[in-house]
Amino acid sequence: MDFVFDTYALLEIIRGNRDYEPYLSKGIIINNFIFAEFCYILIRSDYPYASKYLEKYKEFIFNLNPQVIKEAMSFRYKNKKKNLSIPDCVSYFQAKELGIKFLTGDKEFANMENVEFVK
């Protein structure tokens, strides 16, 4: 089974969070929004071996349908009090379009349908 991974999930994996180990054997899908956020966090924190991780995860980038972005931004606007990130909203709708779950540990998505929530 494939999942759309968010940045939180990627970071927890590289940090060695054992709760994410079962997902390492699953299909990983990310998009350019998640990859950009992942790059920024690794570069900002001067994360050890950042280049290695960026090289590894770039191969999982899946192009987005522009309609997904439009729906995601509408959803984000309707839920602006929750302070949802653009990459997470886009990824959530990408997962819905692909008929798979969105893998995240972000509390804002904890009780939403179509979400695999792992802390």
Give residue 73's pLDDT: 98
Give residue 13's pLDDT: 97
**In the predicted model, what is the mean pLDDT of the chain?**
97
51-92 per-position pLDDT tens digit: 999 999 999 999 999 999 999 999 999 999 999 999 999 999
- What's the domain range around 30? 2-117
Name the pTM for this structure. 0.94
Phi and psi angles of residue 18, each rounded to the nearest 5 degrees, phi first = -65, -25
- The helix/strand/coil state of 62 is coil
Phi and psi angles of residue 2, each rounded to the nearest 5 degrees, phi first = -95, 155
CATH number of the structural domain spanning residue 49 = 3.40.50.1010
Number of domains in the chain: 1
Q: How far apart are CA 118 and CA 71, in angstroms?
A: 25
Work out the average pLDDT over 8-16: 97
- The helix/strand/coil state of 80 is helix
Give residue 99's pLDDT: 97
